Amino acid sequence: MGKYQTGKHLEAFVLLFLAGHSGHGGAVLQWLREILPGDWVIDGGRVYRLLRELDEAEAVTSHWSTESGAAPVRIYTITALGRGRLELWHQEISVRHDSLQRFLDGYEAWRRDPPTPRDDEAFLS
């Protein structure tokens, strides 16, 4: 099986993580690696760029934390605007899920009862 990119839905997953709790980019990456199938490629650089873009768009806020004497990390928290974007993602993914489920159901029905092969001559006449 091939590898799959998180693609355009990466924002939805990042916002979902931040809806549950604030966190830094490394925590978001770890969570994504835990919940997404192993066939998915997660571009860490893209996650950090997305967090900055969400911050600039005011979908999240951020602040630097130096807790426990470790190196400073930027902590992200979802905003009301971010929760609104998350709701829009939910709506889009629900529609996509319904469409994909219809494909899967149709495919499974086809696999259970495939059409019989036609004789090319009979088909063309």
| Residues 80, 63: Cα–Cα separation, whole Å | 17
Q: Mean per-residue pLDDT for 14-37? A: 95
Question: Which residues, in sequence order, are bridge partners of residue 61?
Answer: 77
Answer whether 0.85 is exceeded by the pTM: no
Task: Calculate the average pLDDT of the chain.
Answer: 88
| Strand-strand pairing, 4-5 and 40-41 | parallel
Class of domain 4-113: mainly alpha
Taking alpha carbons only, the member of 37, 47, 39 closest to residue 14 is 47
pLDDT of residue 5: 58
Name the 3-class secondary structure at 62: strand
pLDDT of residue 105: 93
pLDDT of residue 8: 78
Handedness of CA 82, 87, 90, 95 (dihedral sign): negative
pLDDT of residue 1: 45
Taking alpha carbons only, the member of 49, 47, 50, 51 closest to residue 62 is 51
Minimum mean pLDDT range among 8-12, 35-39, 47-51, 95-99: 35-39
Domain residue limits, the chain = 4-113
Q: Mean per-residue pLDDT for 70-88? A: 95
DSSP, res 79: -
Structure tokens at 2: 């091939």
Please say if the pLDDT value at position 88 is more than 50. yes
pLDDT of residue 113: 85
